[in-house]
Structure 1
Amino acid sequence: MSLDSSSLSQKSRPPSQLPDRRELGYQPFEYWKGPKRILPPRAQPITKPSSTGTVTRIEEIRLPNRSGYTSTAPQHKLAVVHTYPIEKVRPDPSLHPALATTNMGWEQPHNVHGGQAGPTSFQVRDANGRVEFVTEPSYDNQELPPRANNMSRYVGVQPWYKRKRVWLISAIVLIVAIIVAVVAGVLVSKANRYPDYAKLNYSLQDTYSGETFFDQFDYFTGYDPAQGFVHYVPKEQALQLNLTHATTESAVMRVDTSVGPGSSPDASTGRFSVRVSSKKQYNSGLFIFDVKHTPFGCGTWPALWLVDETEWPKSGEIDVMEAVNKADNGNQMTLHTSDGCDMSVKRKMTGEVLHKDCFNETNSNAGCGVQGNEASFGASYNAAGGGIMAMEWRNEGIRMWQFGRSSIPADITAKKPDPSSWGIAAADFPNTGCSMDSHFRNQSIIANIDLCGQFTNAVYAESGCPSNCSDFVANNPQAFKDAFWEFGAFDVYKAS
């Protein structure tokens, strides 16, 4: 009979009419291992049929039974080679999910009944009672995933503990990234913080000027608290020695130049000088100081500053103008405080930063200083006629400006000062890292001329001054002819 793919199709014939595979000499094979060959004796010749699809006789067929393969067909000497369309059975997906997608040699086009077209053909040889597969079946996708005792139920799915570890690592990485971003944001935000120095309206509160200038000050008497080589004299002695005097235009403070080596008493224990403190104290405000002349010369340490003399450093110190020796480095503007006031923050100023920590116990009580230009103090400043030193003290911070005589803002002259219109300050001490309210209070205005002392002695030699400071001060009275302050008026404004 003629065997073709259509005659063997289960969709075109009832199952009862299908030929028994055992009758066709089909050798069963295992899906996992492929077909098992049964080789004939090598001496037997192989004869090709003249046509395909015709069964003449099968000499021997090995049929499967429960005990294995047995020979049940009669034997014949005729060797016949035929081509049979052997039906292939689709793999059972229940064995493994991956088998559901294995083609196993079935052709892709579908037949008219909706199924696939059917299996391809291959040859078998019948000789001397044994059956051999001459050509191997063709498998489109014959590779299957290897079996393993611990294979997951689903291919490609990780065990739960591995998935949990991946999620844990991902969560940790995410948390670390968030922390880094937050910290970086905080640091950037802190670095960019700056107080809002919004415009304030100021009204005049106090004026120190004219012939009564010194009437509003107390004279400090005795040795210098900063170990200076001076005797601060009381008001009566200062007037007698002409160390202080005032006119309608100016108020002058100076160092004594009358006592020399042959004088009795001499200046071997210190030279006479003056230190005055305002009777009134302040907790904020805008201070306008008209300074016409600044003291300078080897051994000098003049300053214009604000402090609570009974509560230092707890109540703070604000140095508006300060220099030592020849003052050729310019004006120094500094804050001295108790612990917790730092200027390592954003600042807007033209001066040069000297130190950032204002705490009096750091850097030998240098404070957080800002250096002005060379013409902001001393001989150059005096030759230009002096100028205006302005200091604004408010909750947002402390700022200082210095204006030459020829560049004083019109609003200052008109006594309607507006710091918001003055541009960048010479020194800026914002409240970003220092609370103004907690570090500065009850401040008196102080002006003095110290000699030698802590600051001057520290830089005396490098300033190009002769001998040592105390010997030079005691024996050279004429060296201090330029060691005097000359003030115009001090105006103090209060924010309204």
Structure 2
Amino acid sequence: MQPISALILLAFPLAALCHPSARRDEVFQSRATFTLKDHYQGKDFLDWDFFSNADPTHGNVNYLTKSEAIAKGLAYVQKDGTTVLAVDDTSRGVKNRDSVRISSPKAYTTGLFIADIWAMPHGPTTWPAYWTVGPNWPHNGEIDLLEGVGESETNQITLHTGAGCTLDTGFAAKFSGKATGTKNCQSGNGGNAGCGIRETTPNAYGHKFNMIAGGVTAHLVDASGIKVWRFPRTDIPADITAQKPDPSTWGKPAALFSSSTCDIKEHFKDHVLTFDTTLCGDLAGNLFPGGPAACEKEVGNPDNFKLAKWMINYVAVYDS
């Protein structure tokens, strides 16, 4: 979730085009066997890396160290094993509010990643994200999987890369989301919108996501491309629950970024999995009614953050 100068909020539908290459289509339909590599749950998340530097997206937050976050009750595990990552909801009149950003201790280049999330942050000024990112941003890529601002009801899946990566609109018929107006995934130097696909799945973000007890976000990264699926709590495939995932049976993904116009092996390397909640900043601040100044003022009201919590069941990583 690097700085974004502008995010296209009004997505437009792309024509459902059949891609001319039947051979490439077969690649996306191929079946693979996946083996569990890492499984994070409960206290495992408290051993992730806590980012405590200044927010690179210029948000009004103080990211806490592990010891600070635990001591202040902003990172903890409930009795049922759910991990909670919260924003301070008690301090009044502060300019920067305490929050948490964690990243996995291991980095991954390819694989199948399944995140089971009970609830996510929402509310005025909030900008939460579940995302992955490589070193030397943006040259090793970023994948924003669950991201939005405030009380948004829709989720946008976005790639950020160095030069030479674009969204192949020829595959529009093969994902259920709607591409935004930006096909160029290149970010940096002030132009950080990336290339995005806005989900059309109901209950995919914020309050409505939480009202159905969340669900699963799954994404597959391999040489053929990047696919992202979203499953509400009541529709999680049995193979995921059984730890025998078979993406070939999951149907059309919410988003698909083909390697035909973006060399995945070149642009996405050594990604850490990340959860964070920032406030205002480059995106939420600019989109807030009244602009950044009005947004910053609302940061001082703790009542805005009673629901600004990640509640995570588990994250599983599979090799093919």
Same fold (TM over 0.5): yes
How is 1:20-419 mapped onto 2 (pairs within 5 angstroms)? 189=20, 194=25, 196-197=27-28, 198-215=30-47, 217-247=48-78, 248-261=80-93, 267-268=94-95, 270-308=96-134, 310-328=135-153, 330-347=154-171, 348-354=174-180, 355-361=182-188, 364-373=191-200, 374-419=202-247
Amino acid at match of 2:89: T
- 1: CA distance between counterparts of 2:25 and 2:184? 18
Q: CA deviation at 1:345?
A: 3.4
Q: Deviations over 1:60-108 (max 9, x none)?
A: xxxxxxxxxxxxxxxxxxxxxxxxxxxxxxxxxxxxxxxxxxxxxxxxx
Q: SS at the partner of 1:318?
A: strand
Is the CA contact (8 Å cut-off) linking 1:194 and 1:432 kept in structure 2?
no
* CA 448–428 in structure 1, closer or farther in 2 if over 3 Å, else same: same
Amino acid at match of 2:54: Y
- 2: CA distance between counterparts of 1:418 and 1:281? 23
- 2: CA distance between counterparts of 1:455 and 1:366? 10
Q: Deviations over 1:288-314 (max 9, x none)?
A: 000110111110000001112x41111
- 1: CA distance between counterparts of 2:193 and 2:22? 24
Amino acid at match of 2:295: C
Is the CA contact (8 Å cut-off) linking 1:344 and 1:357 kept in structure 2?
no
Name which structure has the greater RCO, CA cutoff 8 Å, separation 6+. Answer: 2
Structure with max Cα Rg: 1
TM-score of the superposition, structure 2-length normalised? 0.88
- 1: CA distance between counterparts of 2:111 and 2:298? 40
- 1: CA distance between counterparts of 2:188 and 2:242? 42
Cross-structure match for 1:431: 259
* CA 351–189 in structure 1, closer or farther in 2 if over 3 Å, else same: closer
1:441 to 261, 264, 269: 269
Q: CA deviation at 1:193?
A: 5.6
Amino acid at match of 2:194: G
Q: Deviations over 1:257-313 (max 9, x none)?
A: 12112xxxxx22x111110111100010000000110111110000001112x4111
Q: Deviations over 1:175-204 (max 9, x none)?
A: xxxxxxxxxxxxx84799646121111000
Is the CA contact (8 Å cut-off) linking 1:206 and 1:493 kept in structure 2?
yes
Cross-structure match for 2:15: none
- 1: CA distance between counterparts of 2:21 and 2:216? 34
* CA 301–191 in structure 1, closer or farther in 2 if over 3 Å, else same: farther
1:459 to 266, 287, 298: 287
Q: Which moved more, 1:202-211 or 1:345-354?
A: 345-354
Q: SS at the partner of 1:312?
A: coil
Is the CA contact (8 Å cut-off) linking 2:168 and 2:257 kept in structure 1?
no
Q: Which moved more, 1:443-452 or 1:336-345?
A: 336-345
- 2: CA distance between counterparts of 1:380 and 1:362? 35
Q: CA deviation at 1:212?
A: 3.0
Is the CA contact (8 Å cut-off) linking 2:168 and 2:258 kept in structure 1?
no
- 1: CA distance between counterparts of 2:265 and 2:219? 16
Q: CA deviation at 1:417?
A: 0.2
Q: How many residues align?
A: 296
* CA 322–438 in structure 1, closer or farther in 2 if over 3 Å, else same: same
Amino acid at match of 2:133: V
- 2: CA distance between counterparts of 1:219 and 1:466? 27
Cross-structure match for 1:64: none
Q: SS at the partner of 2:311?
A: strand
Q: CA deviation at 1:477?
A: 0.8
1:479 to 294, 304, 318: 304
Q: CA deviation at 1:440?
A: 0.2
